[in-house]
Amino acid sequence: MSLEILCMAVIAIGLGLVIAFFGYRLFLALLPIWGFFFGFALGAETVAVLFSDAFLATVTGWVVGLVVGIVFAALSYLFYFIGVALFAGSFGYALGAGLMGLFGLETGFLPWIVGVVVGVIVALVVILLNLQKPAVELITAAAGSAVMILGVVLPFDTVRIGDTLAQTAKAVFNDSILWLILWLVLTGVAFFFQFRQNRVYVITAPERSF
């Protein structure tokens, strides 16, 4: 185990802890960052699917990922409504693609399209039913918990940097069902903590001047 991997693991655990338990309070700061990484992953994975390449295996994948990431980050920063939709959609995409990974479909068109469809559905439900606050609390709790678990398993070569969401989900949960149970427990605890902490705290959408 290299020092670099160990440092990445410690950072992932710390970052995941902050996101899981304080995600709603930090949401406005997280939004453009989250938008960039989701856009980057979505753009790069779309290129991989369209050209039957490995994830981030080509310069095109990197370039498209960076461009989409920058666009998503800018939209998330400038337009709160779009940012929330992208945020919710990213959770749906990760959920859909991750479930395909558990069924052995780690790469290809099917996990990508399932991720996109589930992402759109989740985004629409959150926006149309005005569920922004509980959605942000739940998604940050789930995402932060997942990052913490990835930090724990990273030094043991269970996952590899550069894997797709489906590959990562399959690798972690196939390693032991206890990781899935731990993720669910951590998510529940973090969501309950945020729900209690933020009962009288509501984010005010920022007004951007152009």
Residue with structure tokens 């996990």?
111
Of 206, 145, 148, 198, the C-alpha closest to 24 is 198
**At 106, is the secondary structure helix, strand, or coil?**
coil
**Distance from C-alpha of 36 to C-alpha of 42, rounded to nearest angstrom:** 10
Indicate whether 192 pLDDT > 90: yes
The Cα-based distances of 26 to 41, 69, 137, 196 in angstroms read 22, 20, 11, 16
Does residue 21 register a pLDDT over 90?
Answer: yes
Structure tokens of 33? 């960052």
What whole-number distance in Å separates Cα of residue 195 and Cα of residue 76? Answer: 24
pLDDT digits (tens, 9 = 90+) for 114-170: 889 999 999 999 999 989 899 999 999 998 888 888 888 877 766 666 565 566 666
Task: Report the predicted TM-score, pTM, of the whole model to 2 decimal places.
Answer: 0.82
Asked if the model's pLDDT at residue 1 lies above 60, the reply is no
> What pLDDT score was predicted for residue 157?
67
Q: Who wins on pLDDT, 69 or 97?
A: 69
